[in-house]
Structures are given as C-alpha cells and as structure tokens.
C-alpha cells in the first residue's frame, strides 16, 4: 500500500503546451503534490494535457485538483485528459465530471 | 556502571606510561649499543695509532745500526751459536762491555754502533760473531726500555716462514727480572720458533702488503709492521696489547651514558604525563562530569557555567565549548518538543471533541423512528481519521415522506469534515423546504457553489421514500450506484442510475431524478467509495463484486446485520492495511404498510 500507491509525474513542455503523464495512484497524498506541481507549472500554458495511460486510481481529492485546474484553464485555454482507462472513465462518469472535462478515450 | 567508571578513572595515564616505559627501554638499548660501538672503534683507532708510533720507534732503534739487515741475517742463521747476554744494563760491568773493548782493540777507529756493512764484512768471523752478540744485547736493552715506556704486554721482532705458519723469534723485549725461556709466561730467547694461528698469519700478510695490521685474540690485540728481510724471510716488528682494561672502562662509560639518556627520557616522560594530565585529562574529566550532570538535570545553564572554567586552548577546550553549545541546543530542542507535544495534545483533544460533535450530528440512535413499523433503517460512518468527509442522513420530511441521504466530500480529515458539516446542514435545510430530490440537490449546489473558494465538492445520493406506497424518488449528484433488492426473494443489485455532476463543482447545474419502486421486504443499500475502494496491503481494492456478495450473504437479515456482514467482509479483505478512506454505509428496509399486511 505504501509503495504501490506512489504517483510519478512526467512533465513535458512544448511551447505553450504542457503534457503531464501520471503513473500510479492519484490519492489524497499525491493530489497535494500534483496541486503543488501544477501551481508552479501553469504560467503561460494555454494547452494542458493530462496523460492518464498509466494512472491506476483517482480519488475524490485527485478529482478536486482536476476540477480546480479545469476552472483555471477555462479562462486561458484548454485542458484535455487522454488515455484514461475504463475504470477511471467510470469514476468520471459516476461523479458526472465527464460533462465538464474534455476526455479523449483510449481508442 | 558508575563504580566501573570510577575504577577506570585514569586509564589514559597508565596507557601513556606504558608507552613511555617502552620508549625509555628502547632508548637505553640503542644508546648502549651506539656508545659501545663508538668506544670500541675509538679504542681500535687509539690502539692502532699508538702501536704504529711504537713500531716506528722500534724500527728506528733497529735501523740505527747501518748493518741491521746483515745483523738480522746473522742472528737468524747463527741463532744457536751466539753467546748472548740478555737484558743487561748499559755502563755496568757486563760481558757486552768486555766484548766491546775486545772489538775496539781489533778494529781501531771503528765506531761500533755505526759500523757499516762493509766494515762488518771486512771483519774476521770471530769478530763478526762478537759484534752480533754485542749489537743484539744493546738492541734488547733498547727494546726493553721501549716496552717499559709504553706499557706494552709484548714487543718483539720475528722472521716468518714463506707460508707465514711459524714465527722465528729474533728479538723479544722483557721487563726487569723476567726469565728467558720457552715456557709459558717466560720471555722467548733468540731462535725460538712458534706456530701461529690464522689471525696472526693474516695480520702478517697484511702488514707485508700495507705496512700494518691488527690481529685480535680475545682481550689481546697483536700489531705487526714489516721491517725488512733476513735470509729471504720477511721480518716483522710485533707487539701485543691487553685491551681488557681499556674495554672495561669504555663499557662502564657506555653504561653511564645509557643511564643518563634513560634518566633524561624518564624526566621528559614525567613532564609529558603531567602536561597530559593538566591539559587533557583534567578538562576531559570535567567535561565528562558535566555531561553526566546534564544527563540528570537537563539544565544547560549550570553546565555551561561549569564548563567555562575549562580554559585550555586545545581540543579539550574546544570540546567543552561544543558540549556547552550542544547542551544549549538540546535544551532549545527539548523546549520546542515540549511546545509541539503540548500543541499536539491540544489538537488531539480538539479533534476527539470534533469526532464526538461530528458523530452526534449524524442520526445515531437506532431504531430512529421506533413508532414507524413501515421501515427499518441502520447506518454508520467510520472515518479514516478523527473526523471524516462522509455523511449519511435520514429524516421525515412529513408523515409520509422519508428523506435519505448518502454523501462523500472530496478529501479527508478536517477540511472534508468542515465541508461535510456545511453540506449536511444546507442539504437538510433545502430538503425541509420541500421539493423533489433533483430540486433539493440543485438548490444545495447553488448554495454551496456561492461560497466555495477551495473547489471542494461533495457527491450526494438523495432519495425520498413515499412511505405509504414504497415509491422512491431519487437523484444522484456524482455518487456511487445504490444497491436495491427488486423483489423480496431476489438479491441486492446495483442500480445504474442517471448521474449528475458532483455538488460544488459548477453552479447552475440541473439535476435529473428517477423513480424506483420498493416492494415490502426489500432493501436499499447506500455506501461511499470507501467500501468498494477499501484496499489491502498489496494495493488490491475490495470492489463492487465482493461488496454485493457480502450484501447477499443474508439478504433477509435485519439492516444492522447486513451492514455487519459487509463490514466483516471488508475487514477480512484489507486485513492489517491502514484504512485510508472513510467508510460509510446505510441500509433501508421497506416493510410496507404493517396494518395492511396484518389485515
């Protein structure tokens, strides 16, 4: 549970486009880290992409970070979630976030 | 412990003393050997130079006779024919003097001592023999004087054979009163031949080549100088010294020097020990004492004062300063720890109070409506931390309508709990104002969104049961699917209902509602994601499948029993893993109209 639930974030900046690839579990603890990372990385970014191909789990705290990021990006550009697995998409469905986030499914 | 330390009070001193003792011994041994070797060399040089001086004088005495080589040959060849007067004094009435007078008569005008070879050869054989006897006697007397003057043990002149194996004694000096003879301790007469050892042979060979050499034999040392030849045989002047006296005096001098060196070193060692004691050991003991004192009292000021007395300007002084600083830091640290601990205790007290307040906010008396036989309800909330973000609620809106709520605030702990409290109150207030579940959730969302800087949100499932008919109107704001028993004999199944967005995410959301029919004897199960997402040590989740299986273990049991079954299944799955999300469940059993059923 300790090691398995770690989150690693790979950050790629390409002009105004920032791609964050998340690997692991986005839970209460890692959500705080992601929030901190986002608050220092979003300057000048107009095109934000979350790559969820390797994301295993997302908690409500994680979704809170996505929600607040979505609200920030609404005023300056776009935010997109790609590669999310079915179980993650199901969570988005259940919580109704599918309507708010731009989600590109795996296929 | 203390006793042991007292015993080992000054372990350093004996250790250093042992080192010093060893070094004193080493110094002694080295000094002794160096001194001995120096004095031995000195004695050798001294002996050699003295011997060469004596040899020079002896050779001069012999070479004063112009015909000395003729004489040597004559003595060698006629050794047994000569009537020699040994060890006579000059000027006395001696045979030699008589022989001199005879010779002077036979050879008028010839100065006997300085007779040349030619003059000697011109003499008749009788006179030659006489002259050989006279010159021999004179030379022996002269050699005796030299021996006496220089305190040599033996002074002699010998002819060696070709192999240097024997010595033929030509001249041998004697002390007054000594007897001439061939026995031990007698002075050898002319013509005595002795066999010599390898050392002596080597010494003579070397003397022939280099003019001089020493040969050792115990305390005696032989010295040889080449003089000339007699009948083709090498003739040497030899002398023997007894070195034992010189040696013993030099040995005692070496011992004395060694003793002085050792005493000096002992003196230095003592000074060293005193300095170590004064500048290292004493300050160190004091530092140690203060460290122990600090261990007991935890009072850095006292020991800092005490340590200030250590004024040595070396590492022990530095150490005492460091210890003072460390103690001060420790005090500071302890102080901070105490503050933190007190703070922690305060927070913990507050949190446990918060836990109780939160628990009290949720309906927690079961059965909640004992007078209502149409339904039974049971619920519990088990926060992962002291306070949680989950909540359940149920309340009678009017006599025929029961409101049921299951909600889960994003995140955990105090922030979630605060948001949960607000959400619960707002939601219940909205519900009490009347309206359908969708209207209630829409209103609640508006209220929460208006003051939600932190982007918190809450997932809510809300249903209103018409008690008389069993009609359940529900709306879902991003919450987990409820589980419902469609018929009294069927299993509990998930109802994939229509979902709206979580509450608090966006304003102006319209929620949709749907209807379910609850038959008498069926159950509704509500939960938060803490149940299916309960995780074991390997990161595996409990999952909806296992949850449904646990629910259907005893689908006809009382709601409290059903929740216990689920809880037991979750606990059995996660085992010792830490609970990391709030775990909340509610089970509503619809029994229908009891009076109708009874009639």
pLDDT over 70 at B92, yes or no: no
Contacts of A5 in chain B (CB under 8 A): 535, 539
Q: Do residues B354 and B387 make contact, with C-beta atoms less than 8 angstroms apart?
A: yes
The residues near B132 (Cβ < 8 Å, ≥ 6 apart) are B71, B74, B75, B78, B82
Rounded-to-integer distance, Cα B422 and Cα B387, Å: 14
Domains along chain B with CATH numbers: 64-242 (3.30.450), 366-598 (3.60.40.10)
pLDDT digits (tens, 9 = 90+) for A53-75: 999 888 888 898 999 899 889 88
Of the pLDDT bands very low, low, confident and very high (cuts 50, 70, 90), residue A107 is very low
Order across the sheet with A47-58: list the strands.
A7-14, A17-26, A47-58, A78-84, A102-105
The residues near B494 (Cβ < 8 Å, ≥ 6 apart) are B481, B482, B483, B544, B548
Residue of A60, A68, A71 with shortest CB distance to B408: A60
Instruction: Give the pLDDT mean for B106-132.
Output: 84
Residue A72 belongs to some domain of the structure: yes
Check A100 against B410: CB less than 8 A apart.
Answer: no
Rounded-to-integer distance, Cα A3 and Cα A7, Å: 9
Residue A50 belongs to some domain of the structure: yes
pLDDT digits (tens, 9 = 90+) for B554-564: 988 999 999 99
Residue B377 Cα, gap to closest chain A Cα (Å)? 25
DSSP string for B479-491:
PPPPEEESSTTSP
Of the pLDDT bands very low, low, confident and very high (cuts 50, 70, 90), residue B219 is confident
DSSP code for B495: -
Residue A12 belongs to some domain of the structure: yes
Q: Is A59 on the interface with B (CB under 8 A)?
A: yes
Residue A64 belongs to some domain of the structure: yes
Of the pLDDT bands very low, low, confident and very high (cuts 50, 70, 90), residue B105 is confident
Instruction: Give the pLDDT mean for B592-596.
Output: 67
Rounded-to-integer distance, Cα A26 and Cα A41, Å: 18
Coil, strand or helix at B129:
helix
Instruction: Give me the residues of A, 24-53, that contact B with CB < 8 A.
Output: 25, 27-28, 31
Rounded-to-integer distance, Cα A64 and Cα B458, Å: 10
Mutate: best of B391, B410, B498, B535, partner A, most A CBs <10 A: B410
Position B181 scores a pLDDT of: 86
Nearest C-alpha neighbor of B192 from the set B169, B173, B171: B169
Position B9 scores a pLDDT of: 60
pLDDT digits (tens, 9 = 90+) for B228-240: 888 888 999 998 8
Of the pLDDT bands very low, low, confident and very high (cuts 50, 70, 90), residue B375 is very high
Residue A1 belongs to some domain of the structure: no
Q: Do residues B190 and B82 make contact, with C-beta atoms less than 8 angstroms apart?
A: yes
Position B441 scores a pLDDT of: 95
Beta strand A78-84 pairing with A102-105: parallel
- Tokens matching residue A24: 């692991």
Structural domain total, chain A:
1
Q: Which residue of B has its CA nearest to A5?
A: B539
Q: Which residue of B has its CA nearest to A96?
A: B501
Contacts of A95 in chain B (CB under 8 A): 459, 478-479, 499, 501-502
Q: Which domain holds residue A14?
A: 7-105
Q: Is A96 on the interface with B (CB under 8 A)?
A: yes
Of the pLDDT bands very low, low, confident and very high (cuts 50, 70, 90), residue A1 is very low
Q: Do residues B196 and B202 make contact, with C-beta atoms less than 8 angstroms apart?
A: no
Residue of B499, B537, B538 with shortest CB distance to A96: B499
pLDDT over 60 at B595, yes or no: no
Mutate: best of A60, A74, A90, partner B, most B CBs <10 A: A60
Nearest C-alpha neighbor of A97 from the set A72, A73, A62: A62
pLDDT digits (tens, 9 = 90+) for A21-55: 999 988 878 888 999 999 888 888 899 999 999 99
Residue of A31, A63, A93 with shortest CB distance to B499: A93
Residue A15 belongs to some domain of the structure: yes
Residue B422 Cα, gap to closest chain A Cα (Å)? 18
Q: Do residues B277 and B195 make contact, with C-beta atoms less than 8 angstroms apart?
A: no
Nearest C-alpha neighbor of B406 from the set B497, B517, B490: B497
CATH number of the domain to which A85 belongs: 3.30.750.24
Check B501 against A27: CB less than 8 A apart.
Answer: no
The residues near B270 (Cβ < 8 Å, ≥ 6 apart) are none
pLDDT over 60 at B598, yes or no: no
Rounded to the nearest integer, the mean pLDDT of chain A is 87
Q: Which residue of B has its CA nearest to A90?
A: B480
pTM above 0.80, yes or no: no
The residues near B354 (Cβ < 8 Å, ≥ 6 apart) are B386, B387, B414, B417
Beta bridge partners of B562: none
Check B578 against A96: CB less than 8 A apart.
Answer: no
Q: How many degrees, rounded to 5, is the angle at CA A8 between CA A7 and CA A11?
A: 140
Position A82 scores a pLDDT of: 93
Look at the block and give the residue holding tokens 């030299």. B146
Residue A26 belongs to some domain of the structure: yes
Maximum CA pair distance of chain A? 38
DSSP code for B81: T
The residues near B316 (Cβ < 8 Å, ≥ 6 apart) are B279, B280, B283, B284, B287, B310
Contacts of B475 in chain A (CB under 8 A): none
Describe the crossing of helices A28-41 and A60-74 by its angle, rounded to 10 degrees.
20
Rounded to the nearest integer, the mean pLDDT of chain B is 87
Residue B418 Cα, gap to closest chain A Cα (Å)? 15
Can you say whether the dihedral through the CA atoms of B569, B573, B578, B579 is positive or negative? negative
Residue A60 belongs to some domain of the structure: yes
Contacts of B580 in chain A (CB under 8 A): 1, 27-28
Rounded-to-integer distance, Cα B390 and Cα B417, Å: 8
Of chain B, the percentage scoring pLDDT greater than 70 comes to 95
Q: Which of A2-11, B105-114, B484-493 has the lowest mean pLDDT?
A: A2-11
Instruction: Give the pLDDT mean for B276-302.
Output: 87
Check B536 against A1: CB less than 8 A apart.
Answer: yes
Beta bridge partners of B463: B404, B474
Q: Which residue of A has its CA nearest to B452?
A: A68
């Amino acid at each position: 549970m300790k090691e398995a639930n770690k989150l690693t974030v790979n950050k790629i900046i390409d002009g105004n486009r920032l791609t964050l690839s998340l690997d692991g579990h986005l839970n209460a603890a890692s959500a705080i880290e992601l929030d901190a990372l986002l608050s220092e990385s979003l300057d000048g970014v107009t095109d934000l992409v979350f790559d969820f191909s390797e994301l295993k789990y997302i908690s409500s705290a994680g979704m809170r970070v996505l929600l607040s990021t979505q609200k920030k990006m609404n005023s300056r550009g776009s935010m997109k979630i790609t590669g999310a697995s079915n179980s993650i998409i199901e969570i988005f469905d259940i919580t109704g976030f599918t309507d708010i986030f731009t989600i590109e499914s795996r296929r | 412990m203390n006793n042991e330390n007292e015993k080992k009070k000054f372990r350093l001193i004996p250790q250093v003393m042992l080192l010093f003792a060893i070094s004193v011994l080493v110094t002694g041994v080295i000094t002794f050997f160096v001194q001995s070797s120096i004095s031995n060399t000195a004695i050798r040089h001294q002996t050699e130079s003295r011997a060469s001086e004596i040899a020079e004088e002896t050779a001069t005495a012999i070479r004063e006779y112009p015909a000395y080589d003729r004489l040597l040959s004559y003595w060698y060849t006629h050794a047994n024919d000569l009537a020699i007067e040994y060890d006579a004094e000059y000027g006395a009435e001696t045979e030699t003097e008589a022989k001199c007078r005879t010779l002077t008569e036979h050879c008028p005008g010839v100065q006997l001592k300085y007779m040349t070879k030619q003059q000697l050869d011109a003499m008749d054989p009788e006179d030659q023999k006489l002259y050989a006897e006279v010159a021999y006697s004179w030379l022996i007397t002269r050699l005796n004087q030299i021996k006496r003057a220089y305190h040599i043990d033996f002074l002699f002149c010998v002819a060696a054979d070709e192999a240097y194996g024997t010595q033929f004694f030509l001249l041998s000096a004697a002390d007054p009163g000594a007897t001439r003879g061939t026995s031990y301790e007698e002075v050898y007469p002319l013509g005595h031949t002795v066999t010599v050892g390898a050392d002596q042979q080597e010494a003579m060979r070397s003397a022939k080549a280099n003019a001089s050499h020493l040969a050792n034999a115990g305390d005696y040392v032989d010295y040889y100088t080449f003089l000339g030849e007699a009948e083709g045989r090498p003739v040497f002047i030899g002398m023997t010294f007894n070195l034992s006296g010189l040696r013993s005096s030099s040995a005692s001098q070496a011992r004395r020097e060694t003793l002085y060196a050792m005493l000096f070193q002992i003196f230095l060692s003592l000074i060293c020990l005193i300095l170590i004691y004064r500048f290292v050991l004493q300050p160190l003991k004091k530092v140690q004492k203060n460290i122990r004192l600090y261990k007991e009292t935890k009072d850095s000021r006292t020991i800092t004062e005490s340590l200030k007395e250590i004024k040595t300007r070396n590492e022990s002084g530095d150490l005492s300063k460091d210890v003072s600083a460390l103690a001060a830091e420790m005090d500071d640290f302890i102080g901070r720890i105490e503050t933190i601990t007190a703070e922690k205790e305060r927070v913990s007290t507050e949190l446990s109070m918060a836990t109780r307040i939160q628990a009290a906010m949720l309906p927690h008396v079961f059965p909640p409506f004992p007078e209502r036989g149409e339904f039974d309800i049971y619920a519990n909330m088990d926060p992962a931390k002291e306070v949680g973000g989950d909540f359940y609620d149920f309340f009678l809106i009017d006599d025929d309508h029961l409101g049921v709520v299951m909600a889960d605030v994003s995140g955990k702990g105090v922030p979630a709990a605060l948001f949960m409290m607000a959400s619960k109150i707002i939601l219940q207030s909205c519900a009490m104002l009347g309206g359908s579940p969708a209207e209630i959730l829409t209103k609640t969302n508006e209220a929460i969104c208006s003051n939600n800087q932190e982007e918190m949100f809450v997932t809510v499932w809300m249903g209103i049961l018409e008690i008389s008919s069993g009609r359940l109107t529900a709306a879902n704001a991003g919450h987990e699917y409820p589980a419902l028993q469609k018929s009294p004999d069927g299993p509990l199944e998930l109802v994939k209902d229509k979902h709206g967005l979580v509450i608090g995410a966006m304003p102006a959301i319209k929620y949709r509602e749907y209807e379910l029919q609850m038959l008498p004897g069926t159950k509704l199960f509500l939960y938060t994601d803490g149940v299916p997402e309960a995780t074991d040590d390997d990161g595996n989740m409990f999952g909806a499948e296992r949850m449904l299986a646990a629910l259907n273990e005893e689908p006809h049991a009382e709601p409290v029993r059903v929740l216990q079954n689920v809880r037991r299944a979750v606990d059995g799955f996660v085992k010792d893993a830490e609970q990391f999300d709030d775990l909340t469940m509610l089970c509503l059993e619809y029994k229908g109209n009891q009076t109708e059923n009874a009639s």
